[in-house]
Chain A
Amino acid sequence: MAYAFAEQDFAPGAPAPLVASHASEKALLRFITCGSVDDGKSTLIGRMLLDARAIAEDQIAALDRDSKKFGTQNGALDFALLVDGLAAEREQGITIDVAYRYFRTDKRAFIVADTPGHEQYTRNMATGASTADLAILLIDARKGILPQTRRHAFIVSMLGVRDVALAINKMDLVDYSEARFNEIVAAFHDMARELNFRTVAPLPISALNGDNIAALSERTPWFLGEALLPLLENIETACAQDHEEPFRFPVQWVNRPDLDFRGFSGWVAAGAIRVGDEIVSLPSGKASRVHRIVTQDGDLDAALAGQSVTLTLADEIDASRGDVLVAAEKRPQVASQARARLLWTAETDMHPGASYIVKLGARTANATVADIHHLIDIHTFAPAAARPIRLNEIALATVRFDRPMIIGDYCDNRDLGGFILIDRITNETVAFGLIDRRPAQENEEASEGERAAARPQRPRSRLRPPARLASALFSGFCVGAGAVALGASPATGLLLGFADALLRPFARSVYADHRLNRANAAAPSEERLDSGGGI
C-alpha cells in the first residue's frame, strides 16, 4: 500500500495539519555524538550549543565555577562539565551515561544524544543510537582511525543509523593539513566498507577554535563541503519517516470509555492509514476496515508513521494490547522464533537455554535464547566462536518465543525489529535484540514476497516506481534506437532495447551497492555526499 500523500488528502480544516503551520514548528533531527574523552566530543557539543546560542549566561557562570573546581582545562571553560551531569562523572572526569541535549536553529530542532566513548558503556551508546537519525563520529586528526572509531562505527551502523558526519577534529594541531584529512577519510571509507552507510560527510574541524562548525573556516580553503551546523540543518536522512512502507500499528491500549466505543490506541510504527482501508489484526488474522481515526482534535482522514492515534474498526474483531494491525495485503511475519543480533547489557553472562521476558512493540512474552551462532568482534566486524555472551558483547542468536510475535527485519522497521530481553528475577534489561531476517531461514513460512520484503535496505533511488519504470523504458528505447542507428537490424535493436530496459534497474542496484562502498566517490549530488575535496 503505497501512498503519496498530498496536503489536500487531509480533511479541510483538520485541526491537526500534517505540515508545519506555525512559525515555531520545525523538522526534528536526532543525532548521536560518538568519540572518546580525548577526541574533544564535549568541546564539540559545547561549541555547537554556544554557536546555536543554547547556553544561558547563568549556565556559563556555573560552568566557570565548576571548571575552576573540577576542570581539566587549567581553569578555562571545560565544556565536558556542561554535559557530564552526574557527580560520579564529574569526579572521575568521564562520561558514563547518555545525556540528552537540545537546541534549535532557524531551520530545525535538534536532540543530541551525547554518549560515552568507553567500551564498558557500549550499551549507553547503543541506546543513543537506537533513535538517532544521524551520527557524528569524532576522530582526532593526530591519531586517525582508532579501534574505538571502528567500534563506534559498527554500533551506529548496527543500530540502523545510515548517515554519518565524520568530524575530523583538532585540525589546528595538524596545521589544517588537507593531506592528513584526506588520508583519514580514505582510511575510514576503507574501514566502513561493510557498514552500509548511505551518507558519509567528512568535515575538517576544530571544536576548540570553532572551525567549520557554524560556518566554513578560512583556515581550510580547500574544504568544499558544508560546515557542521548547516549540514545538520539541511541533511535529508534515510530515517525520515517513510510513509510508503506498509502500515504497521502495534495496539498499545484498548480504549473503551463506554459500551458504544471500542478503539485501538497506538503509535503508527510504519506506513500510513486512511479511513476505509483494509487491515488485518495479527496474530489472529481477522480482517476489517478502518472506520474512524480518532483524536481529541477531531477525526482524521489519514494518519502517518510517527503519529499517536486511536482507530475504530468497522467490525467487532478481537484485538488487544500487543496485537498489531497491519495492511491487509502486505503482512509482516508471525513467528515463534527469530534470528537476532543481541547486544548484551547486563553484568551477568548469558548462557544458551536461558529464559527471559521479551518486549517487542507493545507485546510481552517469554523468550529463550535457543542458540548462539557466533559472536561478532566489534573491532574487526568478523564472526568469532560462539560462547556465553558477556557485557557489551554482540552475538547472533536464535530466540524462541512462547507466543507468536509479529516481527520484521530491524533494517526495515525499528519498532517491529527491535526488542529487549528482561531478566525475570532481577528485572534488569539484559539485552537489546535486533531481528535479522536477511538470509532465508529454516522453519519459517515466509512467502517469497515476504522474503523479498526482508532484503537489506538498498540506498534508494530518488525516482518513484512509475518514474523508475519510465526511465528504464526510455533508456531501453535509447539503447535500441542507438543500436539501429549504428547499423544493427531493427530486430536486434528491439532486443537490445528490451534487454536494457529489463537489466538496467538490476545493474543500477548493483551499481548502487558499489557506490555505497565507495560512499564519497560517486554522484555527490544524488546521495548528498559532501565531498571533502580532493578525495
Chain B
Amino acid sequence: MIQLTHLQRLEAESIHIFREVAAECEKPVLLYSIGKDSAVLLHLAQKAFYPSRPPFPLLHVDTTWKFREMIEFRDRRAGELGLELLVHINEDGVNAGVNPFESGSRLHTDVMKTQGLKQALDRYGFDAAFGGARRDEEKSRAKERVFSLRSKEHRWDPKTQRPEPWRLYNTRKRPGESFRVFPLSNWTEADVWDYIAKENIPIPSLYFAKTRPVVRRDGALIMRDDERMALRPGEEVEHLSVRFRTLGCYPLTGAIESTAATLPDIIAEMRASKVSEREGRIIDHDGSASMEQKKQEGYF
C-alpha cells in the first residue's frame, strides 16, 4: 500500500485549512513576516488555490526595525508573485519614539507588533488572519487551535477554546470577532527546513552563514544592521561568520556563529543543535508564560 510521506500529509492538511478559510471567511489576510515560516505559508497558499491566485492580500506589520534585507526580500517576493502587499506601521508608536533600545523589548514588541497588528486588522476589517506560528515553537502555542478565535479586542482566551475534532473547524463568529488561523500548526522546525529544501522555496539570505558585522551584547550576537544601533562603551563591531535561525527585529534577534552556507548545511546544523530556535529571540525570555500573556493581549 502506498503511503503518503509526513511532508505530503502536512502539506495536504495545510492546503485544506487555507481552503476552509477562503470558503468560510469574508475577508482573510495572510500575515507575512518574511521569515522561513512565512515563506512556507505563502508557498502553501499558492498551492491551495492554483491555478487561481490566493484570494487574499499579504499584510506585513513593519516595526521599522526589521533587517534591511528582509524589507527588500518582502517587496521583491510580492512583486514576483503578483500579490497585493499591505504594509502597516504603528505611527503612534513611531511618533512616541518607541524603539527596542530605549523602550525595552517588551514595550517595543507590544506597541509596534501587537498594537500595530490590531490597528491593521481593524483598519482593513479582516476577519481571518493566517499566521505561520507552529505548535512546536512554544508551550502555550502547543495548546492553541488551528482556528483561534479572537474577541473584538483581539484577545485570546485559552479557557474557552473550541474543540477541533477531525478536520472540522467551527468558523462561526460574531460581528467584530476574528480568527487567527495557523496552517502550519503541526509542522516542526525540521519539517519547515525539509520542505524548503524539497520545494526549493526562496528565503532571505540572512538564514545562511556569511561574514556580518556583529556586536556582543547581553550574551547575544546582535548584527549592527544600520547606524541607529549606537555602540555602548567597550563594545566593538566584530566581523564574524554568522547566520540567523529566526528573523525578527534586528536589535532583538541573536545570531549564531556558523559556517552553514547551504540548505543541507543548515539542516545538518539544526539536527545537531542542542538549543531551540527561539533561544535567539530576546522577546521570549520575559518569563515562562510570557507568550501566553502576549497572545492574550492580541499578539498572534
Query: Chain A interface (Cβ within 8 Å of chain B)?
Result: 5, 7, 16, 18-20, 22, 24-28, 56-59, 62, 65-66, 82-88, 90, 96-102, 104, 108-109, 111, 123-124, 126-127, 130-131, 159, 240-243, 252-253, 255-257, 261, 263, 265-267, 294-297, 304, 306-308, 310, 321, 345, 357, 359-360, 362, 414-415, 418-420, 422, 424, 427-429, 432
Q: In the complex the two chains form, is A58's CB within 8 Å of B275's CB?
A: yes
Contacts known (A104-B190, A255-B52); A28 close to B170, Cβ less than 8 A: no
Q: B23 contacts A321, CB within 8 Å?
A: yes
Tell whether, in the assembled complex, residue B51 and residue A97 are in contact, meaning their CB atoms are under 8 Å apart.
no
Q: Chain A residues near B174 (CB, 8 Å)?
A: 427
Known contacts A58-B276, A304-B4, A414-B166; is A101 also within 8 Å of B173 by CB? no
Given contacts A88-B159, A253-B22, contact A20 B5 (CB under 8 A): yes
How many Å lie between the Cα of A20 and that of B4 in the bound state? 8
Contact with A along B179-222 (1 / 0, CB 8 A): 00000011010110010011000000000000000000000000
Set B20, B48, B165, B194: member contacting A432, Cβ < 8 A = B165
Q: Say yes or no: B6 contacts A87, CB within 8 Å.
A: no
A415 touches B4 (CB 8 A): no
**What is the minimal beta-carbon distance from A232 to any residue of chain B, in angstroms?**
14
Contact flags B1-19 to A (C-beta < 8 A → 1, else 0): 1111111111111011001
Number of interface residues of B (CB under 8 A): 66
Contacts of B19 in A (CB 8 A): 252-253, 265-266, 308
Taking a contact as CB atoms under 8 Å apart, the answer to whether A296 and B47 are in contact is yes
Please name 23 pairs of A and B residues whose Cβ atoms are closer than 8 Å in the assembled complex, sorted by A.
A25-B194, A25-B198, A28-B9, A84-B139, A86-B289, A88-B158, A97-B161, A99-B142, A123-B163, A252-B19, A253-B22, A255-B52, A267-B12, A267-B15, A304-B4, A308-B15, A345-B163, A359-B170, A418-B165, A419-B168, A420-B165, A427-B170, A429-B170
Could you say which of A87, A90, A108, A414 has the most chain B C-beta atoms within 10 Å of its C-beta? Answer: A87
> Residue on A with the closest CB to B46?
A296
Q: Please indicate the chain A residues that have their CB under 8 angstroms from the CB of B275 in the complex.
A: 56-58
Q: In whole angstroms, what is the CA distance A362 to B185 when docked?
A: 21
State A362–B135 Cα separation when bound (angstroms): 25
Considering only CB atoms, which chain B residue lies closest to A242 in the complex? B1
- 20 more CB-based (< 8 A) A-B contacts, given A98-B143, A362-B20: A22-B197, A24-B197, A27-B5, A28-B5, A28-B9, A56-B274, A57-B275, A85-B139, A88-B159, A90-B289, A96-B159, A102-B188, A127-B163, A131-B165, A261-B51, A266-B19, A267-B12, A296-B51, A307-B4, A429-B170
Q: Give which listed residue, B2, B11, B12, B172, contacts A243 with CB less than 8 A.
A: B2
Measured CB to CB, the closest approach of chain A to B283, in angstroms, equals 15
Closest to A26 in B: B6
Assembled-state Cα–Cα distance A85/B291 (Å): 10
A324 to chain B minimum Cβ distance, whole angstroms, is 14
Residue of chain B at shortest CB distance from A305: B4
Contact of A97 among B12, B143, B173 (CB under 8 A): B143
Q: How far is the CB of A28 from chain B (nearest CB, A)?
A: 4
Given A296-B50, A432-B163, verify A267-B16 contact (CB < 8 Å).
Answer: yes
Residues of chain B from 264 to 280 with CB closer than 8 A to chain A in the complex: 267, 273-276, 279
> Inside 8 A of A266's CB, which chain B residues have their CB?
19
Q: Output the least CB separation between B265 and chain A (Å).
A: 14
Q: Are B166 and A418 in contact (CB under 8 A)?
A: yes
Q: List the B residue with the shortest CB-CB distance to A6.
A: B2
Interface string of B143-166 (1 = CB under 8 A from A): 100000000000000110111111
Which chain A residues lie closer than 8 Å to B172 at the CB level? 357, 422, 424, 427
Residues of B near A59 (CB, < 8 A) are: 276
Task: Tell whether B127 is near chain A: CB-to-CB under 8 Å.
Answer: no
Q: Is B288 an interface residue (CB 8 A)?
A: yes
Given contacts A85-B142, A252-B16, contact A362 B23 (CB under 8 A): yes
* Least CB distance, A353 to chain B, in whole angstroms: 21
B135 touches A100 (CB 8 A): yes
Query: How far, in whole Å, are A267 and B136 apart by their CA atoms in the complex?
Result: 25
Say how far A241's CB is from chain B's closest CB, in angstroms.
7
> Which listed residue (A19, A111, A257) contacts B186, Cβ 8 A?
A111
Q: Which residues of B contact A321 (CB under 8 A)?
A: 23
Say yes or no for B76: interface residue by CB 8 A criterion. no
Contacts of B190 in A (CB 8 A): 24, 104
Contact of A18 among B4, B186, B288 (CB under 8 A): B4
Is the Cβ of B170 less than 8 Å from the Cβ of A22?
A: no
Chain B's closest residue to A25 (CB) is B5
- Does B37 have its Cβ within 8 Å of any Cβ on chain A? no
Establish whether residues A127 and B165, one from each chain, have CB atoms under 8 Å apart when the complex forms. Answer: yes
Are B6 and A306 in touch, CB under 8 angstroms? no
**Residues in B neighbouring A98, C-beta threshold 8 A:** 143
When A267-B16, A359-B168, A415-B166 are in contact, do A427 and B173 touch as well, CB less than 8 Å? yes
Residue of B with least CB distance to A57: B274
| Residues in chain B near residue A360, CB distance under 8 A | 168
Contact A5:B2 (CB < 8 A) given known A25-B194, A97-B161 = yes
CB distance from B289 to the nearest CB of A (A): 4
- The one of A102, A127, A130 that contacts B135, using a Cβ cutoff of 8 Å: A102
Residues of A within 8 A of B52 (CB): 255-257
Please judge, given known A-B contacts A56-B275, A243-B1, A310-B50, whether A253 and B23 are in contact too, CB under 8 Å: yes
10 shortest interchain CB distances as A-B pairs: A85-B139, A28-B6, A25-B5, A130-B165, A308-B15, A296-B50, A56-B276, A257-B52, A427-B172, A109-B6
Give every chain A residue within 8 A of B164 (Cβ-Cβ): 127
Residues of A within 8 A of B22 (CB): 253
Q: Pick from A97, A253, A294 the residue with the most CB of B within 10 Å.
A: A253
Q: Distance (Å) between the CB of A338 and the closest chain B CB?
A: 16
Task: Using CB atoms, name the residue of chain B closest to A418.
Answer: B166
CB-CB under 8 A from B273, the residues of chain A are 56
Cα(A418)–Cα(B168), bound, Å = 9
Query: Is B167 an interface position by the 8 A CB rule?
Result: yes
